[in-house]
Structure formats: structure tokens, C-alpha cells
Amino acid sequence: MEFKLILKKLNNNLTQEEEEIFNAWYSESETHRLYYKKVEESYSKALDIVDIRKGWEAINSKIYPKKGVSRYLKYAAAAIVLALLSLPFVLTNQEPTTQPAISVGNTVIEIGTDKATLTLEDGTKVPLEKGKAFNTQTLTSNGKQLVYKSKADKTEPLKYNTLTIPRGGQFYLVLADGTKVWLNSDSELRYPVTFASNLPRKVELLYGEAYFEVSPSTENNGTHFLVATQEQEVDVLGTEFNVRAFKEDKFIETTLVNGKVAVKNGGNISNLTPGYQSKLDKGTQEISIAKADVRNVISWKDGLFSFKNMPLKDIMTVLSRWYDVDVEIVNEDVSKITFNGVFNRNQDLENILSIIQNTNEAKLTTKGKTIMVE
């Protein structure tokens, strides 16, 4: 059954013949009924989640009568949302796409997963990955997360561990003070195994992106929590915020979810309130503050790619980290085209590339583990 029949059903636009086809499909199995229910739930949120770009109207006005463009855009919004959210069931005998799906040949491009390398205080490197446990007197890991035992000492010298997340990886960390940290692909965090009870709790985001849910100072002898990068330091008492500081980025972005933080750069101090983001220009060292789309910024933590008016070049950079692939920009003009959409991170790269290509705005080809934007 064609997917568009489900969308027409949701809009009560089925012909009698289409209604019979839909009813036969719906009655065929519980799987189909569950699928329809999920489509119905997503449809009501579709236009809030995904904004169909202007390019859609231009493309479809050539295919459909002008009076039908608005309705088709409504259908397209829901269809894209469902594709991006990767519902677990599929329909058979769907219409061919406007372009063939991306093919990666014999090259295996794996979906990102929980994995990291832990460097202990003595320099020992320990790979952490699903299915492999690792435990010491101060920490425990089940391969999906790393948890340190709560302890603070005034006299014992600080010992540091480093957690490195490769491209194609992510990891969840609980520090000794109870602070929770989600680390994105291509990131590295250095932190004390235990914190001193009389000193600020300081960690270093050497590069990459991390989301912090900080244990309040009231539970840690009043000590502040500090996140240092190469260009700035974030001072907090207890809050939730996201820091993005990838090596190749021109800016370091700090987005506050709740609480209050102070972003420090040399003698400059900028206070953030919830819903706002600071951007430190690595070149000029200037900090600007603006309202942020928090849900869009932290979507990665919840297993989603959220692209809002994002140039294709930047989208490909995000995908390259998660899927550990390289990107070659052949056509600079195409790379500047902006897209909007929400994708589930737990799906094959081929699916996402096909959806982008099927807008007819970009041609994407692959050679081994390199994606060419043409």
C-alpha cells in the first residue's frame, strides 16, 4: 500500500476505492494497526517538528496543480516527519522515490553507538563499549556508561582521568560528585577521579560537545562547578547546560537549560539565564548572547539530529561525526542550501542521505566512506 493513502486517511480524503485498499491493509495485521497509530500520533505534531523548505513548493508546483500544493505540503510534512523519526514498521509496494536511494556499495557504514576510551591516571587506556564491563575501586562501567564512586577528600592529591569519545561514538558519565555528563561524538573530557572537598569542582572539555546536569553546590560543601575549554570557563552552582566546542568550529557555544551560569573569558564575564546561549568567537574572543532554541541544541542528547535552517555543509559535518565518514564538498553552492528536519540518530546513514537527496536540491554520491556533495 502506498504511504500517501495513510496521509489521505488522516485527512479524510480517501476515495471509495482507496478506502477499501486502506481497510484491507489495516485489517491484515496488528503490526499495520500499530504503525497507523504511530503515524496518527506523529501527524498531529508534524508541522511543529518539521518545516518544509521553500524548495518543496517550487518543486511540487511543477508536479501538482496549484490548488493542490497546499494539501500536498501538509502530506509531505507528515511523511518527512515519519521518515525522520524512523518508525519501526515499513509499508510494502510504496511509490518509487524521485531519485534512487544512496548506495554505499560494499562499504559498511555503521550507526554510532556507545563507545569511548578511558585513560586512567597512570596512562593506561581502557576501551569501553557495549557488552564489556570494567570496574576498579573508584569506578564501574557496563560499557554504556561510566560511574565514579562518590568521595571527597581535602588531603589526597587530585588524580585525573580522561574520557575520549571517537567519531561514531557517544557516552554517559557520572562524576564522583554526582554530576551527570552526556558526551557527543568526537569529544574529550578530563576530570578528577575524586573532587577535593574544599576546592572548586573543575573539569576540562578539551574539545567536542557535552551536556552537563550539575550536582548542586549545596550537596558539595558549597563548591562551584567549573567547565573549562581552551577559550573560556563556565562557572555554575548547580544547573543544566550544553557546551559545544568542536575543534573545527569558529565559535564555542554555551546554552543554558535551567539555573544560572557565568561564562568567563579573560576578564570578561557574561551571565546566562535559561533559554539563552553565549557564543564566543575564537578569533576575536568576543562573546555575544542571544535567545536559543534549546530543544534544537540539545536534541543530540535525546538521540535525535535536529536541523533548523542549517546549511547542508553543516549537516554533513554533524553526520560525519556520528557515522565516522568523510565529506567532500564538490559544489559549494549546493552545500549552502539550508534544510529543516528532525532525524532519529539510530538509523542507517543511507536513509538520511536519501531523504535529503529526494528534495531534488542536492546530489549525494559515495565512494568508500567518503560522501560527495555535488
Query: What does each of the 374 residues of the chain score in pLDDT, given as a tens digit?
Result: 666 677 678 767 788 888 888 888 888 887 778 777 766 665 544 433 333 333 334 333 433 344 444 444 444 443 444 444 433 333 333 333 334 445 455 678 899 999 999 999 999 999 999 889 999 999 999 999 999 988 766 667 899 999 999 999 999 999 999 999 999 999 999 999 999 888 899 999 999 999 999 999 999 989 999 999 988 999 997 899 999 999 999 999 999 999 999 999 988 899 999 999 999 999 999 999 999 999 999 999 988 898 888 999 999 999 999 999 999 999 999 999 988 878 888 888 988 888 888 777 888 988 889 999 99
Domain with CATH 3.55.50.30 in the chain: 303-373
- Specify the fold of 113-297: Jelly Rolls (2.60.120)
Instruction: Look at residue 106 in the predicted model and tell me its pLDDT.
Output: 64
The C-alpha torsion from 266 through 267 and 272 to 278, rounded to 10°, is -40
Q: What is the pLDDT of residue 99?
A: 40
For residue 318, what pLDDT is reported?
96
CB 112 within 8 A of CB 345: yes
pLDDT at residue 192, as a whole number: 96
Return the pLDDT at 54: 37
CA of 109: how far to CAs of 103, 113, 257, 351, in Å? 11, 12, 33, 12
Residues of the chain with CATH 2.60.120.1440: 113-297
pLDDT value of position 341: 79
Q: Write out the CATH class of domain 303-373.
A: alpha beta
Gap between the Cα atoms of 335 and 356, Å rounded? 12
Q: How far is CA 154 from CA 157, 174, 179, 199, 233, in A?
A: 8, 21, 19, 8, 24
Q: How far apart are CA 254 and CA 211, in angstroms?
A: 10
* C-alpha–C-alpha distance, residues 346 and 246, integer Å: 22
| Distances in whole angstroms, Cα of residue 357 to Cα of each of 84, 99, 243, 299, 363 | 14, 7, 31, 23, 6
Residue 105 has a pLDDT of 56
Q: How far is CA 345 from CA 179, 184, 206, 368, in A?
A: 25, 12, 24, 21
Q: Is the CB of residue 111 less than 8 Å from the CB of residue 348?
A: yes
Alpha-carbon span 55 to 57, nearest angstrom: 5
Q: What is the pLDDT of residue 207?
A: 98
Beta bridge partners of 233: 228, 264
Nearest C-alpha neighbor of 137 from the set 122, 125, 127, 149:
149
**Distance from CA of residue 212 to its chain's centroid?**
15
